[in-house]
Amino acid sequence: MASGQQLRGQQLGGKTALLLFLMVVFGSSGDTLIGKGMRAVGPPAAWSVAPVLSFLSHAAGAPAVWAGFGCLLLFFLSYMLVLTWADFSFVLPSSAAAYAVVPLLGHFFLSEQVSLLRWTGVALITLGVGLVGNTPPRTTRAEPADGTPLEAARAKGD
Amino acid sequence: MQTAFFILLVVVAGTSGEMFVSRAMKGLGEVTSFRPAAIARVVLRALRAPWMWAGLGMMALAFFSLLVLLSRANVSFVVPVTALSYVLAALGGRFFLGEQVSANRWLGVCLVCVGVALVCAG
């Protein structure tokens, strides 16, 4: 029984780690691409209807914005899938690894200057994600929240 | 004062939106097959869950509050403050979703919260 549970925990850990990795990759590249695209577009000239519409149409014409949007859709898909089994209070802090990865990528690939304060933040996030990652990903029973028996819900879908 | 109101809206609406999405997904049961057809079925079933729409609505509200906030306050102030949502998420996981947030997980959440604030402020 104990070894069965342990094996189950390891399997859960493997696919949870894979989907968290996809979330971090697609989430941070989506943000970076949209950031890059929007910087080229610039802010709306004023916060009224016509300038905001022109701002939106410029944003919709930028390929980087579309690529970033696609990445964010894949991010959200991975997020939805991992939440079907893993705790929200496990997934959300773990996905903060993106905040540590982006400055690292910026430093090593784009030779950006990273301040001491930011390095401290990266260290704290790494430590925090490590601590959260050592807790079991799932602490709730496999039971739907809306009261539908799981077997019925599964039979409908699969 | 208005800035504080919009910060509250971004943090509370954003976190509760993600919590509602989490509740919808927990209700579908664990995904075990990752073939495209199986994933498409999961997404279609998720779109029929009321919690999913409540979640997407809250996330949209949070996004528009963020846009309003960014038009009146500095990004370097706004984004670090939104790291508070990690603490709120742990509370929501514990009380709304019935997850067990152990001492280690709490400690990790607090470190992440401070770390994200520092990265965004730095």
For chain A, give the mean pLDDT. 79
The pLDDT score that the predictor gives to residue A101 is 83
Look at B27 and A145 and tell me if their CB atoms are within 8 Å: yes
The pLDDT score that the predictor gives to residue A11 is 63
The pLDDT score that the predictor gives to residue A152 is 45
The pLDDT score that the predictor gives to residue B13 is 95
Closest chain A C-alpha to B8 CA, distance in angstroms: 19
- Which chain B positions have a beta carbon within 8 Å of A145's beta carbon? 23-24, 26-27, 51, 97
Contact residues for A140 (Cβ-Cβ < 8 A; gap 6+): A87, B26, B97, B98, B99
pLDDT band at A10 (very low <50, low <70, confident <90, very high): low
Mutate to test the interface with A, among B111, B113, B114, B120 (most CBs of A within 10 A): B111
Question: Is the pLDDT assigned to residue A157 strictly greater than 50?
Answer: no
Q: What is the pLDDT of residues A95-145, one digit of tens each?
A: 888 888 878 877 887 777 888 988 998 899 989 988 888 888 888 876 544
Question: Is the pLDDT assigned to residue A153 strictly greater than 70?
Answer: no
Q: What is the DSSP string of chain B?
A: -HHHHHHHHHHHHHHHHHHHHHHHHHHH------SHHHHHHHHHHHTT-HHHHHHHHHHHHHHHHHHHHHHHS-HHHHHHHGGGHHHHHHHHHHHTS-----HHHHHHHHHHHHHHHHHHH-
The pLDDT score that the predictor gives to residue A143 is 53
Statement: the pTM of the whole predicted model exceeds 0.90: no
ipTM above 0.90, yes or no: no
The pLDDT score that the predictor gives to residue A76 is 93
Residue of A nearest to B37 (CA): A158
Helix (H, G, I), strand (E, B) or coil at A87: coil
Residue of B nearest to A116 (CA): B122
Collect the ranges in chain B with pLDDT lower than 50.
Answer: none
Residues 106 through 145 of chain A touching chain B, CB cutoff 8 Å: 114-135, 139-140, 142, 144-145
